[in-house]
Structure 1
Amino acid sequence: MHAQTRGISPPTLSYIPAPGNQVNLSLGGAGTTGSAAIQVTPMGGSGSGPFATTGLNCTISGNGASAFSVSPGSFSFLPGSSASAIGLSCNAGPNIQLATLLCNESPGGSIGQQQSWPLRCPAALPVPPSLSYDPQPGSTIAFSPGNALIGSTATASIRITPSGGLGTGFGATTQFNNCTVTGESVPGTIAGFQGASFTFIGATTAVQTLNLTATVRATAVTATLNCDEVGPGSPLRGSPFVIPRSWPLRVNAGTQPAANLRLLKTASAQQVQVNEEFSYNVQASNVGSSPEFGLVVIDQVPSALTILSAAGPDWTCRIDGNTVDCRLPELIAGRSADFNIQVRAPATPRSISNSARMTSLSNSTALVSSATVDVVAPPPEPVDLAIDKSDSADPVRTGSNFSYLLTVSNLGGSAATGVRVDDVLPAGLTLVAATGTGWNCNGSSTINCTLAGSLAAGASASVSIEVTAPAQATNLSNRATVSSNEPDSNSANNADTESTSITAEPPPPPPLRADLGISARAVPASVLTGQNVSFEVAINNIGPDPATAVIFDGTLSAALEAVGASGNGWTCTVSARQIVCTRASIGVNATENLTISARVLPGATGSADMSLRVVSSVTDPVPANNQGQVAVSYQAGGADVSIVKTDSVDPVAAGAQYSYTLTVSNAGPEAASGVVVSDTLPAALSFVSASGAGFACTNTAGTVRCTLANPLAAGASAAATIAVRAPTSGSSISNEGVVSASTNDPNPANNRSTQTTQINDRTVEQISDLLDEAAVDPASEAALPVVSAECADPASALAAVCEEIVDAADDGRIGEVTDALRAIAPDEVLAQQLVLREIATTQFFNVDARLNELRRGGGGFSLSGLTVNSGGQAIPLSLAGEALQAALGYGDDEGGLISPWGFFVNGNITDGKQDLRNASGRVGVDYSSRGITAGIDYRLSNRSVVGAALGYAKFTSDVNTGSELDAKSLLLTGYGSYYVNDRFYVDTRLTYGNVKLDQSRSIRFRVGGMQVDELARGDADSTQLTLATSLGYHLNYGAWTVTPNLGLRYIRNDVDAFTETGAGAYNVSYRDQSFKTTQLSLGVQIGRAISLDTGVLMPQFDFSLNSENSDDPRAQASLVNGSPSQLFRLDQQGTDSSYGSAGLGFVYLMANGRQAYISYRHTFGNDDFDRGSLNLGGRFEF
């Protein structure tokens, strides 16, 4: 005010951003340091000097304060000063960190406003670790030992050490891979680098080692190792980066071991036929005294040979074209090792020489061994001619003509040339003619027939010799022979004799003859297993007579089963593999057709054929063509399995359970074995269960496999059901099911099926209905609408815990949901009413103690000491009667101890407890306080006194579990007491003051797999107004004093809005609160004076009945990071109470106004609230 009088005023400060707005510190790329600034601009003001200066001092508070810093922390602004910036920085960690910036203004040296900004430091961007190497890239790596034996192994290594990384995931990953060796002076020497790959993530410091090996050669080997150091993309680096790393390598020349190798190559046969398989054996022997290492045998197999395989114990062989490369790591002294090369000879005769060459690490000069094989043509197949001779009639009438049919067949494997038939006719027969296709016949009594060309293997040729029977009856025997240019392997069938009876009687009519023939074909010629095939059978009658009672008999092989048989005029019966068809007759030169339907069995093996045979009741002159065989080629048809995937509902509410049905069908033709349905669930889905008739299902890391126990028959289907839970936020999810089988599938295109399901965000109402069962008390009911709204918002800061809460509700884990709702609800704030009420009571106790002294004429200085009190009225320290006061020197206006001015200091210690009652919303509070009140008063007259007192109290309390509510108060009380007459008094007290509340709220719960443990802090200012009045009447009975009394108290508290910090998404902002309490007490005090040598002892007893009527504690709050319209409406029910209080005390009065006292008081009659008090005190005058 002095500075303003002189025209000096400090500037006011404006801020960008404005106080109360959250300041988000930003990271400058990959790393851990974030920064931001607040612009401070001074405005107005005049003059200079300290009274024209506005100071600003800034600090950071909150749970995450240690991660933040402010620079500079203090400023001084004069009128006209330029704007400055409050620099903020933070060390980002793996999680988001929160704190509060507090800046205190001091305009002109006085205490000004405190400004605050919530601060947010984001989680650190991932940093891939840097890699260091030992030895460094570019340094030559020498393998050890440096003087190893040739063929032994030398080693070397590179140590890779990560450092400086942060975070997880791809962005925090550095890889070391893609190693190759180039410029190897002896190829194949260096190993150990192939496939080497190391991954380093985030802050890891684990050392990895790349171990290299080398085969020691006779000469030094040099090479270069090249590897890639691969890091992720980032805002600074862009796309993934690759840093080439390379090291020169050196392997010293080895020392020569004393060894002696031998190589021997042999063939399994010296001579083989064309296209015949044979083998080479290659044997290496060590006849020395020390091991031999690194044996390499190269065999350039001649191109005329076809290599089939190359293998041998301990050898590693590979075939590249016609080169066989076999290697043996070690051959110890005195041992041998061999391998075989299986080959096929060429199709033409020749002589083939083949050489093998062997080297070792100790001997680069190749040892050579060769083997020669002659490939020859196979010997010709032998010829086996057979002759069959038959007569056309028997008996034959004398002088009539008949014929002999001579059929020559080549049963051998080669064609016969110069085939000749000789037939010496018996006496009496006369040659008429000898003919046959391809035959040239000569002679009359001895018939010689020569076949032109050759008679192929399996072929036959016939000659017909027509003759005239002799004139006399006789029995004829006619013998024919066959020969060829080639040796005959079976001469026993080179001749055949036919006997014919010649009779003078007319011969009986010849028997009917019908030469039936049968042929068949398969339509189609090739099928798949499980498919049908038609065998089209044609039966013809060459004659010369009709065939009657015709019977067709077909037998199917094991690979087939009969389906049906039909044909015009045929009657058929069919069993599993047997078909029998009959018909009345087949005319001469007629052909009748049959169709036999069969199916190739699934899984069939062996040939699929049908044996055919036809007979009739008429003699068949050529039975050889009455039977046959027809076959169909086939391939495994497999099983055409397919899958169709459907969802049980679409769209699906977020967080809801639904299912996929995967239906597998087998279109055949075979049964499907080893059927497996697999489904890799999208990461957004949560697996619940999987089952299906006949299926055994497992879930491994989100991949569901359902295996069908039995084969799935052709035409059958089976279904598996996978139950899942949708994500808690809306999205479109595509999920693919795949079916496979161990049986060949000819159509894999239908083995996959994808189902797309729309997941809709749950509405607030849906989530509220889901969680409603868990809202079982006022606290959880207050959290229900807020949590429902947050869980319906995919972008909510509570999204992660919402997912767990919704999952728990869907699973029926209601207790977990209730615990979460209770923990999220900030009902701890309701404890403020109790604490504020007890603060008022503390001031009441201290002031009432002074009034009790004044009522009986006390004055001067009073010290009322330790009080442990939870309620009731204070014990008055001066209840002595007038006679007692006179005896102790009270009452003298001039020489006595009474003075119109009085000064007192009263102390108070309070402990109390309110029990937790979830059902009514009552919070549990266990509290203690320390208070002191000092005052001064003035006695207006013997009947009236007025005064004023200033009280300070400090409260600490535990609320519910893990939460705290502390308070500090400064209260000013004006009081007065008036005696209407000598016995009846009226007291009045009016108090007003400020209370500072400091609340820490524990949010601790577990739901599903998430454990939440946060601590929210906030502080609030409160004003308190109290008014109390009491009436009393003293009744004296000798040394006894009985004082009935009646008291009325009114308490009003107004709490300002405040906001929590430190608990991230669980911080809430509280709205203003106001609540009132009225207390009525009716009691009596009884005291008695007992005179002692050194003073007067006064035992005192008090008793009161109390009735308390309060506003039900109510509070409204909203999540700091949530919607401000969604409120926690917190309500504690049934706070009105009635209880009694009883106390016993002793006051000791001594000369010169000295006093000492002790008393104890306890409440009773209230099950939820308990109070006990122990009072100690003393006073003296001066």
Structure 2
Amino acid sequence: MFGEGGNEGDIGFFSDAKAQPTLTPGLDVMNFGAFTNAVYVDNFGTAFLDDTMVPDGLFWDDNDIPDDESALIAWNNIAGGGWTYGNIALEEIPEGTPPNEADEIVLLEDRLIELADALDVPLAVLEEDYLAGGLVSAEIVAAAEANGLFSVDPIEDLRNSNLNFTLEIGTIADGEFTLRIDPDFAEIVENAADRGSEYQFRLAGYLDAAANVPYWDTGNADEYEDAIAAMLLLDEAEQAAALTSTGFTIAPAYSAMGFESARGHVGAITGLAPIDGGDTAAVTQGGGAQSWLLGGNLYGLASLGGSAATYDATSGSIGYEVDAASFTVGVENRLNANASVGIAVGGTTSTAEAADGLGEVEMTGLSLIGFARSNMDNGASIKALFGYQDASYDSTRNVLDETATGSTDGSQTFGAVEASYLSDLGGFAVGPMASIGFYNVTVDGFTETGADAFNLTVEEQSGSTFMGSVGVKGEYAMLGASGQNKLTGSVAYSSMSSDDLVIESGFDGLPTASFPIDGRDDEFVEVNLGFESLISSNTARDIRIEAGYGGAFGEDYERHGFQIGMNVQF
């Protein structure tokens, strides 16, 4: 990249002068300081770059050697207007070059001929366009994009430490020694590293790059520098909170909202027993939807539910609260006395509020669900469903003294299976139960507005949540005027696990970077209680009412939900 080009060329792409940091040697320490090469400093600052900071390059596969690296033709200078040519060849052979080496050198005139031929553009067009340090024309960029010999990739050599050095080793008694590299970070980055959070460490590094890497400066570098200076005046907790606000830290709440809202649909389907073929009235089990006979073997079901869940902060994720509501309506066809299949539609709405005032996300969704259920004569019951949800999201993120807002769309697929086996003990029916479920959320990318330099571009994200439960379920039939009142309940040990996330995001107009956020692994006890009553009348219709409560209690997760419904037999 600098100097004589090393093993990959005859001239440095950016400069024919070496780029190296200052060195202060000591007895047992070598202290490297700032870079001084003017071209390096003007474009990349005075420090080493990491993976998130290196620019993209336009590479040309200029030979048929599979293991040979492609030639770098241009680089994406964000602050300088875009694709920019570098030095691609020498204009003349340097004095003193040995003849055998001189024969291997391709000069600029010949290099441009080869490049024009590869791009399939007239040589005169390329000769007029090319200038080391000048912008690449749109015509040449389009020709490269349409050509399979050209590709866009990060310029990895700019982030290599390039620690090529020679040590003269004297006599060592033990025959070995240790060479230790101790990086020296900017203060804001060092503080984040001391807190032990990889997420904060990457946020700090990204913010520092936005403030100090010149080719990233699209006019906001001073604002980022001021933000860093203000953070450094805060105490440790306040500094961490301010830094956290610069990232899309609320991202895990998208999966949590999908999980909580879809559980309303799952509860509606799995809480309802299949219609008993020997009884034209619907039979329900606590906490689920209600049904009514439409005629023949076709029935209807309806349910309304809501929940409030608290996700406590963990070492790798912020805390947030999720409120959700859902409705489900559908039709069901009884295949025989013990089994049925059906289809349902529903709507959901949920809100996730992040801890420490970092912001909130609102979601609305429409769902389509297919399901099958069976209630066998021996007391066994199994219910299964699969659903698809189309969702829209509106987010608010409080960053420093600004408020960023974003809107996007997404989708979710979800499914669940629940099975139980109840034994009749007089008025009681008791037995084991188990369930599993999955919830996969995908959210489209979007760019925020309203926070000026601190607006984020967030790439598409996806994450899955899995839940499993094992417990005991029971029912108690109560005598009443209608003779059809019932209490239901269950207690289960449940485990919930969500994916680790890698959020691709960055300040609007700057490259995005990968920010890891730990998934959740929560264990909790679930308690469900339900009540059902059939009110008989002197007319040809019966009215059935039902209400249910579901609670989850864990160390870092707590949820309270309800399900209500009414059914009418026609």
Alignment of 1:607-756 (within 5 A): none
CA distance in 2, matches of 1:858, 1:845: 23
Alignment of 1:146-185 (within 5 A): none
Deviation at 1:815, TM superposition (A): 5.3
Aligned to 1:1051: 439
Aligned to 2:391: 995
Aligned to 1:875: 287
What amino acid sits opposite 1:1023 in the alignment?
S
Q: TM-score, normalised by structure 1?
A: 0.31
Q: TM-score, normalised by structure 2?
A: 0.62
Query: Is residue 907 of structure 1 aligned with residue 304 of structure 2?
Result: yes
Query: Is residue 763 of structure 1 aligned with residue 52 of structure 2?
Result: no
Deviation at 1:797, TM superposition (A): 4.3
Deviation at 1:816, TM superposition (A): 5.4
Structure 1 pair 1121–1108 and aligned structure 2 pair: CA distance change class (3 A): same
Structure 1 pair 761–1109 and aligned structure 2 pair: CA distance change class (3 A): closer
Secondary structure class of the residue paired with 2:250:
helix
Secondary structure class of the residue paired with 1:847:
helix
Aligned to 1:226: none
2:495–2:524 CA contact under 8 A, matched in 1 = yes
What amino acid sits opposite 1:1160 in the alignment?
Y
Aligned to 1:1144: 529
Render the CA deviation track for 1:245-302: whole Å, top value 9, x for unaligned.
xxxxxxxxxxxxxxxxxxxxxxxxxxxxxxxxxxxxxxxxxxxxxxxxxxxxxxxxxx
Deviation at 1:1094, TM superposition (A): 4.5
Deviation at 1:907, TM superposition (A): 0.9
What amino acid sits opposite 1:942 in the alignment?
A
1:853–1:876 CA contact under 8 A, matched in 2 = no
What amino acid sits opposite 1:904 in the alignment?
L
Secondary structure class of the residue paired with 1:827:
coil
Aligned to 2:7: none
Deviation at 1:1034, TM superposition (A): 2.4
Deviation at 1:845, TM superposition (A): 1.4
Query: Is residue 789 of structure 1 aligned with residue 209 of structure 2?
Result: yes
1:1162–1:1173 CA contact under 8 A, matched in 2 = yes
Q: Percent identity?
A: 21
Aligned to 2:347: 952
Secondary structure class of the residue paired with 2:251:
helix
2:286–2:489 CA contact under 8 A, matched in 1 = no
CA distance in 1, matches of 2:202, 2:286: 39
What amino acid sits opposite 2:313 in the alignment?
L
Deviation at 1:1063, TM superposition (A): 1.1
Structure 1 pair 836–1159 and aligned structure 2 pair: CA distance change class (3 A): closer
Deviation at 1:902, TM superposition (A): 0.5
CA distance in 1, matches of 2:476, 2:235: 65
Structure 1 pair 782–842 and aligned structure 2 pair: CA distance change class (3 A): farther
Aligned to 2:273: 852
Secondary structure class of the residue paired with 2:275:
helix
Quick one: which of 292, 307, 331 aligns to 1:936?
A: 331
CA distance in 1, matches of 2:473, 2:290: 12
Aligned to 1:828: 250
Deviation at 1:807, TM superposition (A): 4.1
CA distance in 2, matches of 1:1118, 1:946: 47
Query: What are the ranges of 5 or more consecutive residues in structure 2 without an aligned counterpart?
Result: 1-20, 23-35, 50-182
CA distance in 2, matches of 1:810, 1:924: 24
CA distance in 1, matches of 2:458, 2:278: 49
CA distance in 2, matches of 1:1053, 1:806: 34
Render the CA deviation track for 1:410-449: whole Å, top value 9, x for unaligned.
xxxxxxxxxxxxxxxxxxxxxxxxxxxxxxxxxxxxxxxx
Deviation at 1:966, TM superposition (A): 0.3
Aligned to 1:1099: 487
What amino acid sits opposite 1:1078 in the alignment?
F
CA distance in 2, matches of 1:878, 1:934: 9
Deviation at 1:822, TM superposition (A): 1.2
1:1022–1:1054 CA contact under 8 A, matched in 2 = yes
Secondary structure class of the residue paired with 1:1062:
coil
Render the CA deviation track for 1:659-687: whole Å, top value 9, x for unaligned.
xxxxxxxxxxxxxxxxxxxxxxxxxxxxx
What amino acid sits opposite 1:953 in the alignment?
T
What amino acid sits opposite 2:287 in the alignment?
I
Deviation at 1:763, TM superposition (A): 2.5
1:1023–1:1054 CA contact under 8 A, matched in 2 = yes
Structure 1 pair 810–1055 and aligned structure 2 pair: CA distance change class (3 A): closer
Query: Is residue 1088 of structure 1 aligned with residue 476 of structure 2?
Result: yes
CA distance in 1, matches of 2:309, 2:376: 37
Secondary structure class of the residue paired with 2:310:
strand
Q: Which has the larger radius of gyration?
A: 1
Structure 1 pair 801–878 and aligned structure 2 pair: CA distance change class (3 A): closer
CA distance in 1, matches of 2:354, 2:231: 28
Alignment of 1:75-224 (within 5 A): none
1:1046–1:1082 CA contact under 8 A, matched in 2 = yes
Query: Is residue 1161 of structure 1 aligned with residue 524 of structure 2?
Result: no
What amino acid sits opposite 2:518 in the alignment?
Q
1:1065–1:1121 CA contact under 8 A, matched in 2 = no
2:406–2:447 CA contact under 8 A, matched in 1 = yes
Secondary structure class of the residue paired with 1:1154:
strand
Deviation at 1:997, TM superposition (A): 1.5
Alignment of 1:555-574 (within 5 A): none
Structure 1 pair 1116–796 and aligned structure 2 pair: CA distance change class (3 A): same
Structure 1 pair 1040–1025 and aligned structure 2 pair: CA distance change class (3 A): same
What amino acid sits opposite 2:418 in the alignment?
S
Query: What are the ranges of 5 or more consecutive residues in structure 1 without an aligned counterpart?
Result: 1-651, 654-729, 733-757, 865-872, 880-889, 891-895, 1005-1012
Render the CA deviation track for 1:74-123: whole Å, top value 9, x for unaligned.
xxxxxxxxxxxxxxxxxxxxxxxxxxxxxxxxxxxxxxxxxxxxxxxxxx
CA distance in 2, matches of 1:810, 1:954: 40
Aligned to 2:374: 978
Structure 1 pair 857–1028 and aligned structure 2 pair: CA distance change class (3 A): farther
Aligned to 1:1033: 421
RMSD: 3.6
2:522–2:556 CA contact under 8 A, matched in 1 = no
